[in-house]
A = this chain, B = another copy of it.
């Protein structure tokens, strides 16, 4: 058994080949041996779901040439033992079927379970065996045969039977946002806070808007960039007020939120464009909280922005992991037809764009 070689670690340190001693995410190369340490799980991979930034980079670097994109992914995985795009640093997630679970695995998975990983591909040992022959390079969803290893502290969830795999994956991809929003709104001092969702007609935004209401928000203010999204959000019925504003314009954004019943006690930033820190801070009441889910958030812009306007706001880095996040997000989609419609529309738009 592999475990005789080196002591195992729930973080997967025993799989790190180069450089030694770093976490799997920071490693250049991981050990993809199929034999399991006692707390590991091996998954037969069915599909990789590349992170949007990584997919965009691959498509642009290889001018949409499917063969070149396949080679690029295969080369990365062969060299690194994981699918971490060296340019973007990002990974994605995968779906597959549990092939073997070590006797000490704490993940509660059984052989035959169809699952999705909720930790990044950038730290997951992966071997590809089919040459990605059936991937046409048009979508970040990559049909794939091979296997992947989950560690003791990896996070994975069974795919639900009642939702399509495509819908479930899109929901799971952003499931940290509604879970943390729910927690913060439910704990807001005084109760029934006004909540502003910046980017409320997007995937993480619509889930967060619905989660805020479920958690007892007194008022949900949905901010969107243009009339088309405003119509979509109004139809979905997820916000008490829908306002159109440019999230990068602090004065315009905060004015619009104030006019719609703000300032907000909790502001949730769900738009992936740089420069939204100042506007989110100014839209938030003194003593309130801003949750930044956008990966385009600048740490210094947030820290200095709040200081510069004397804003006593709690600013949270949107942690993608909250216990129970997958279940909470899937339940929101089941309960809220408005959220489901937004997701289905986004998935359809995406498919069209890829044509």
Report Cα–Cα, A98/B57, bound state, in Å: 54
**Known interface pairs A13-B251, A251-B13; A120-B308 also in contact (CB < 8 Å):** yes
Report Cα–Cα, A320/B315, bound state, in Å: 11
Report Cα–Cα, A139/B119, bound state, in Å: 47
A300 within 8 A of B: yes
- Say yes or no: B305 contacts A295, CB within 8 Å: no
Q: For residue A179, which residue of chain B has the nearest CB?
A: B312
Residue in B120, B297, B306 whose beta carbon sits within 8 Å of that of A299 in the complex = B297
**Known interface pairs A251-B13, A317-B303; A119-B153 also in contact (CB < 8 Å):** no
- Say yes or no: A302 contacts B314, CB within 8 Å: no
Q: Which residue, A89, A118, A123, A312, has most C-beta atoms of chain B within 10 A?
A: A312
From A21-29, A108-116, A164-172, A229-237, the one touching the partner chain is: A21-29
A178 within 8 A of B: no
Report Cα–Cα, A250/B305, bound state, in Å: 29
A218 within 8 A of B: no
- Chain B residues with CB under 8 A of A123: 308
A295-337: CB near B (< 8 Å → 1, else 0) gives 1011110111111111111111111111100000000000000
Report Cα–Cα, A278/B27, bound state, in Å: 13
**Known interface pairs A299-B297, A299-B298, A307-B120; A26-B316 also in contact (CB < 8 Å):** no
Main secondary structure on chain A at its contact with chain B?
A: loop
A11 within 8 A of B: yes
Report Cα–Cα, A292/B183, bound state, in Å: 21
- Say yes or no: B297 contacts A320, CB within 8 Å: no
A193 within 8 A of B: no
**Known interface pairs A123-B308, A153-B309; A318-B297 also in contact (CB < 8 Å):** no
Report Cα–Cα, A306/B293, bound state, in Å: 13
Q: Which residue, A120, A176, A252, A299, has most C-beta atoms of chain B within 10 A?
A: A299
Residue in B24, B303, B320 whose beta carbon sits within 8 Å of that of A304 in the complex = B320
- Say yes or no: A315 contacts B304, CB within 8 Å: no
**Known interface pairs A23-B308, A26-B278, A305-B25; A317-B315 also in contact (CB < 8 Å):** yes
Report Cα–Cα, A348/B319, bound state, in Å: 40
Residue in B249, B300, B307, B313 whose beta carbon sits within 8 Å of that of A119 in the complex = B307
Report Cα–Cα, A308/B26, bound state, in Å: 11
Q: For residue A298, which residue of chain B has the nearest CB?
A: B299
- Chain B residues with CB under 8 A of A322: 312
- Say yes or no: B119 contacts A155, CB within 8 Å: no
Q: Which residues of A contact B (CB under 8 A)?
A: 11, 13, 21-26, 89, 118-120, 122-123, 153-155, 176, 249-252, 278, 282, 292, 295, 297-300, 302-323
| Given A122-B304, A292-B299, A314-B319, 12 extra CB contacts under 8 A | A21-B252, A23-B278, A23-B305, A25-B304, A153-B309, A153-B310, A297-B299, A303-B320, A307-B319, A312-B321, A315-B317, A315-B319
